[in-house]
Amino acid sequence: MAPSSRRSWEIVIGLEVHAQVLSQSKLFSSAPTTFGASPNTQVSFIDAAFPGMLPVLNSACVDQAIKTGLGLHAKINLSSIFERKNYFYPDLPAGYQISQYQHPIVGEGWLEIEPNPGEAKRIGIERLHLEQDAGKSLHDLSPQATYVDLNRAGVALMEIVTKPDMRSSSEAIAFLKKLRMLLRYLGTCDGNMEEGSLRADVNISVHQPGTPLGTRAEIKNVNSMRFIAQAIDFEMHRQIDLLESGVCVVQETRLFDASTGETRSMRDKENAQDYRYFPDPDLLPLCLDKEHIETLRRNLPELPDLKRQRLMETFGLSAYDADLIVSEPEYAAYYEAALKVLCASCGENVSTSQQAKILANWFLGDFFAHLNHTDVSFETTPITPTRLAGLIYLILTEIISGKIAKDVFSFMETEEGTAEEIVARHGLQQMTDTKAIESIVHDVLTREADHVAAYKAGKDKLFGYFVGQIMKATQGKANPQTVNVLLKKLLG
């Protein structure tokens, strides 16, 4: 084969995402699923695979899988089958994982990503199936022993498998971010990668466009977006190097080592597993009712793509603002709650797009800064959507200026009451009385006679200086527009 330049290689990526289902109890037992509980306190006899124990399917987990399938525009299979995947490991008490193999609950679908602004790309979904999570083996508590925590054993997972549609690490990351956002909007997974609620295995191969796909390697054990990107980039270069030096890529499972940023081959023993899948005789085929699926479909929340579109079309938000607001469901929920209060207060006096824009600026600016520099979260912040809306209302109705509003915002972090009450408490109302402002303007110009003369001689820049002096004299409370108009008039 003639040596070819790196440019001619195309990287082909598919993902297998494991998303922990948000549910009160496990997939086949009534044990709770709360993260971070003391080891082995959330384990039923079923989870520990005691003799004679039988799994009973948790229908809430099934609904979560259906909702996720609907969010992925996927086919929901009316009949699916749970099978046993057999292998020995101490954190797998039954010696088999109950999973879906030949007949998953969700079939083909798609999710749209925007690898570059304004450029949409559909990533195909191959399937989604339900399965049990394993427990945790803790190897680092003792040099002699491995400890086992079964709290996670039996928790429901959705395995979401994509088609090999991604062509770069950035597309893979864009997909994962989009999927995470969707899951969080649907409330089917909390998307927390640090706690392991969202994990991904990556399948990568390289080939030259127009030729058949190359041999793929599967990378396991990558638990953050950054590591996934690193692992993909490392593996892509490794495979290209191999091929360019005339060596074949071996189909194998590789582990990502975060400390070196490299992938390495797993031992043969782990590669050579035969899982002996067969239908679990303890469970009947899962049969879904069409009407039930339609009910779930009707009750789906507004999904991020539609929400983004609505914010842009109805409220005239920029794509940039809309993206930020939509990026987390709690952002959007907060913003929309505040916008609702604001629109109700303003009535038709101010255009909705003006309200939406100024609210977006404050939300993405001052409010985010507030979250960053204090310990509060969306749940605990004293600046509720209603209070923020109250503040914006005062700006839009010219009770206070934008500048004063920043002070009011600071008071709101520590003081009780509405923005209006705080403004009254601290005497921060904007001066709108033209006569009173005119008298101050007059005083300032009299005091600054020299500068007035200079201005009149052509030093235009002094106009700003006069504004500053007047604002200082009014402690910032003068309506800036009124000041402008009066200054121009009095300066002739």
Q: Of 90 and 468, which CB lies nearer to other proteins in the complex structure?
A: 90
Residue 408's SS3 state is helix
State the burial class of residue 380 (Cβ atoms within 10 Å of its Cβ: 0-12, 13-18, 19+): exposed
State the burial class of residue 163 (Cβ atoms within 10 Å of its Cβ: 0-12, 13-18, 19+): middle
Q: Which of 140, 194, 268, 274 binds other proteins (CB under 8 A)?
A: 274
Q: Of 276 and 459, which CB lies nearer to other proteins in the complex structure?
A: 276
State the minimum distance, in angstroms, from the CB of residue 275 to other proteins: 9
State the minimum distance, in angstroms, from the CB of residue 150 to other proteins: 9
Q: Binding mask 132-151 vs other proteins (x if CB under 8 A, - otherwise)?
A: --------------x-x---
Q: Which stretch binds other proteins (CB under 8 A): 89-97, 207-215, 248-256, 401-409?
A: 89-97
Angle between helix 462-473 and helix 434-447 axes, rounded to 10 deg? 120
Under the criterion CB under 8 A, does residue 270 sit at the interface with other proteins? no
For 161, 249, 262, the CA distances from 214, given in Å and listed in that order, are: 19, 8, 20
Q: Of 75 and 276, which CB lies nearer to other proteins in the complex structure?
A: 276
Q: Identify residues 283-312 at the interface with other proteins (CB under 8 A).
A: 283-284
Q: Of 45 and 368, which CB lies nearer to other proteins in the complex structure?
A: 45
Q: Where are the alpha helices (DSSP H) in 300-433?
A: 304-315, 319-326, 329-346, 352-362, 368-373, 385-396, 402-414, 419-426
Under the criterion CB under 8 A, does residue 60 sit at the interface with other proteins? no
Under the criterion CB under 8 A, does residue 86 sit at the interface with other proteins? yes
Q: Which of 12, 18, 53, 292 binds other proteins (CB under 8 A)?
A: 53
Phi, psi of 83 (to 5 degrees): -120, 165
State the minimum distance, in angstroms, from the CB of residue 321 to other proteins: 50
Query: Residue 53 corresponds to which tokens in the numbers above?
Result: 């124990």
Amino acid (one-letter) located at 186: L
Under the criterion CB under 8 A, does residue 54 sit at the interface with other proteins? yes
Q: Identify residues 170-189 at the interface with other proteins (CB under 8 A).
A: none
Q: Which stretch binds other proteins (CB under 8 A): 14-22, 94-102, 191-199, 449-457?
A: 94-102
Phi, psi of 322 (to 5 degrees): -60, -40
Q: Which of 1, 3, 7, 52 binds other proteins (CB under 8 A)?
A: 52
Phi-psi region of 251 (alpha: psi -120 to 50; beta: other; left: phi over 0): beta
Under the criterion CB under 8 A, does residue 49 sit at the interface with other proteins? yes
Which strand (E) or helix (H) includes residue 482?
helix 480-490
Phi, psi of 61 (to 5 degrees): -70, -35
Under the criterion CB under 8 A, does residue 90 sit at the interface with other proteins? yes
State the minimum distance, in angstroms, from the CB of residue 84 to other proteins: 5
State the minimum distance, in angstroms, from the CB of residue 60 to other proteins: 15
State the minimum distance, in angstroms, from the CB of residue 288 to other proteins: 15
Phi-psi region of 183 (alpha: psi -120 to 50; beta: other; left: phi over 0): alpha
Q: Which residues contact residue 390 at a Cβ distance below 8 angstroms, ignoring those fewer than 6 apart?
A: 341, 345, 418, 419, 420
Name the residues that contact other proteins, by CB under 8 A: 45, 48-57, 84, 86, 88, 90, 93-96, 146, 148, 274, 276-278, 281-284
